[in-house]
Structure 1
Amino acid sequence: MEEAKKIFVRADLPAVKDDRKALVTNGLEAGIVSYILRDEDPEFRKLGKMEDAVMTKDGRSVDPAWEIARIDSPEDQEKVLALAGSKKGVIVETGDWSVIPLENMIARFRGSGTKIYAVAKTKEDAELYLKTMENGTDGIVIDTSDPAEIGRFRDLVGTPAPVELSEVTVEDVKPIEMGDRVCVDTCSLMHPGEGMLIGSYSNCLFLVQSESEDNGYVATRPFRVNAGAVHEYCMVPGEGTRYLSEISAGDPVLIVGRSGNARVGSVGRCKVEVRPLLIVSASDGSRTYNVILQNAETIKLVTPEGAVPVTELKKGDRVLAHVETGGRHFGMKVEETITEK
């Protein structure tokens, strides 16, 4: 699974402590959990749970696993390139990125075990660093004196790329034996047309709608996707998949809408219960795929125009799915011939 890119806030530079604190509080409110802090400000770590807190003294990291490097010359570049494989992370700042081809940095550090983060003063610079050589840097470090600017950077790594959806044609719907199915309750409210991508095969994931529509019998649960049998795959951030049986509270999942627009949600809880199941088989014209869901009218597959309860699906109906070539190995996409049936 592709590892998510990371945003740091550089909160060690302002001379005034209250200004440094404002950068941290605004960053936490924007959902950013990684920071560069002065070693004289350890109490800032109590303002919110942090994933990374790189402490500095006189602008340099006090943790030998991290390096903060300034590049102003080719000689500086060579020193930084030599750090690949010897550090957990290297944070690179420079006054002029034309001094150092960013491509060289990304190529040298890729696969070395050392993450490379570029300091960005503007959102436009950050976008460039994250896209250079397709994969870009492992993340960015926000360098701003204005706490209000931090929120502008958040969506750079917080919003996943759209997912390509296509129509598949239902070939058969039939009840099967009872089985263990998973309800995924997220910490997000979803709208009609939004849900999760679920499937028995990793190369075809059906868009299963959240319980966001009132059917007159039970109250809506717009935070919930009745996702299907425990063996099935669901798409997660980074274009990876996980088995539904593995998902638990705190895990990230991908919430996808009818248009393919995606966002990341956090799981609040998962419920595994024995329920009657049915199997929906559908074809893209060349192959047939299936998804196994609870046999109940509250579970719906998304169509180009709306959503249809699985209990009302019939042969010839068209539903939305994400279809891809290749397969998965430990949740990561691989280009190889894999037969699933």
Structure 2
Amino acid sequence: MRTILFKSVPFDKGLVTLALESGVDGIIVPRAQVDSVAALARCRVLADEDVTTIALSAKADEEDAAARLARGETVVLARGWEIIPVENLLAQSDDVAVEVADLSEARLAAGILERGVATVVVLPKGAGELKSIVADLKLSQGCLDLTPAVVTAVENVGLGHRVCVDTMSMLRRGQGMLVGNSSAFTFLVHAETEHNEYVAARPFRINAGAVHAYAQMPGDRTTYLEELRAGDEVLIVSADGSTTVATVGRLKVEARPMLLVRAKVGDVEGAVFLQNAETIRLTRPDGTPVSVVSLKEGDQILCRTDCAGRHFGMRIKEDIKEC
């Protein structure tokens, strides 16, 4: 995972506090302030005097940076770097760090050679966008293609153990998790963001489905819902396909009456088992939630289709049929 550092040189206590609250991985400060900043939070604190900052103004500067990285030194490329020299260094080292002053520069650094630099050092000038930089580089998992699927069946199937995923984040309407019987066909199960007269909203919760179901995870992985644990990061998907991550606070696994929902995209059919309760919802193409209790054949819901083939959650090329 990419590292985000904030450089508070000259030292500014207010900006350091903002950086820590924004979720950066570490702070660079003058040596005299290292101990006091280290006492504020459990995070990495570097002395500016121990960080070699190199401005890439000539080929010799690039060669100097490469040699220092090879020796294991902490090297940061000063703001003003250009893409080609950074590409050259990325080809030689996995520890390239660059200075940035705003979100656009951070995104550019994160996309070089598709994998991006290992570390982004945000300068004081970028403090106003720091929360956006952290969210974009640490939480965003890109965009997924979601497709309207047509519901073909909703059936009562008796009792089963279902998993409530309680996250440490407040989710919004249109957000949820991709869950399904097959990794090749998952359903956007909506978070419990909606109020009704009997149950208050639980916007941190996704009542995600049966214990055996696959859940789409960060990093193009899947996991069984039953295998999730407190502290795990799960993939949160919005109706427009944009993604972020949330940390699991707890899991609730309980026996409940279940429904089997089947849907089709073209000739491809998928299924998911969900609790039979009004508060459990799937997601319509316009991003609004629809309760499984009112779901009927012919309704459209958002799903994701993919190639089947997973081994311990990792994508593999294999002829697999899941039904």
Could you state the TM-score of these two structures normalised by the residue count of structure 1? 0.81
Q: 1:217 aligns with which of 198, 203, 207?
A: 198
Q: Which residue of 2 aligns with 1:63?
A: none
Q: 2:275 aligns with which of 287, 294, 297?
A: 294
Aligned sequence identity (%)? 37
Deviation at 1:149, TM superposition (A): 5.2
Rounded to whole Å, the distance in 2 between the matches of 1:275 and 1:245 is 15
Quick one: which amino acid aligns to residue 107 of structure 1? Answer: A
Q: Is residue 32–residue 154 contact of structure 1 (8 Å, CA) maintained in 2?
A: yes
Rounded to whole Å, the distance in 1 between the matches of 2:130 and 2:183 is 37
Deviation at 1:140, TM superposition (A): 1.0
The 5 Å alignment of 1:155-166 reads 155-157=135-137, 158-166=139-147
Q: SS of 2:91's equivalent?
A: helix
| Residues 298-320 of structure 1, C-alpha deviations (whole Å, 9 max, x = no match) | 21111124333223333322211
The 5 Å alignment of 1:68-217 reads 68=52, 70=54, 72=56, 73-81=58-66, 87=72, 91-94=75-78, 96-98=80-82, 101-109=85-93, 114-144=94-124, 147-148=127-128, 150-151=130-131, 153-157=133-137, 158-217=139-198
Deviation at 1:74, TM superposition (A): 2.9
| Residues 109-129 of structure 1, C-alpha deviations (whole Å, 9 max, x = no match) | 3xxxx4332222343322221
Quick one: which amino acid aligns to residue 86 of structure 2? Answer: L
Q: SS of 1:254's equivalent?
A: strand
Are residues 1:58 and 2:49 paired? yes
The 5 Å alignment of 1:315-334 reads 315-334=297-316
| Residues 157-198 of structure 1, C-alpha deviations (whole Å, 9 max, x = no match) | 133423321011222222334222111112233333322211
Q: SS of 1:312's equivalent?
A: coil
Deviation at 1:335, TM superposition (A): 4.9
Could you state the TM-score of these two structures normalised by the residue count of structure 2? 0.85
Rounded to whole Å, the distance in 1 between the matches of 2:291 and 2:214 is 20
Q: Which residue of 2 aligns with 1:46?
A: 39
Question: Where do 4+ consecutive residues of structure 1 move more than 6 Å?
Answer: 83-86
Q: Which residue of 1 aligns with 2:5?
A: 8
Quick one: which amino acid aligns to residue 27 of structure 1? Answer: A
Going from structure 1 to structure 2, the CA distance change for 1:29 and 1:311 (only over 3 Å counts) comes to same
What CA RMSD, in Å, does the superposition of the two structures yield over aligned residues?
2.8
Aligned length: 319
Are residues 1:257 and 2:241 paired? no
Rounded to whole Å, the distance in 1 between the matches of 2:235 and 2:296 is 28
Going from structure 1 to structure 2, the CA distance change for 1:298 and 1:86 (only over 3 Å counts) comes to farther
Q: Which runs of 5+ in 2 are unaligned?
A: none
Q: Which residue of 1 aligns with 2:256?
A: 275
| Residues 280-337 of structure 1, C-alpha deviations (whole Å, 9 max, x = no match) | 2222123221111112222111112433322333332221112223533443444554
Deviation at 1:208, TM superposition (A): 0.8
Quick one: which amino acid aligns to residue 7 of structure 1? Answer: I
Q: Is residue 170–residue 283 contact of structure 1 (8 Å, CA) maintained in 2?
A: yes
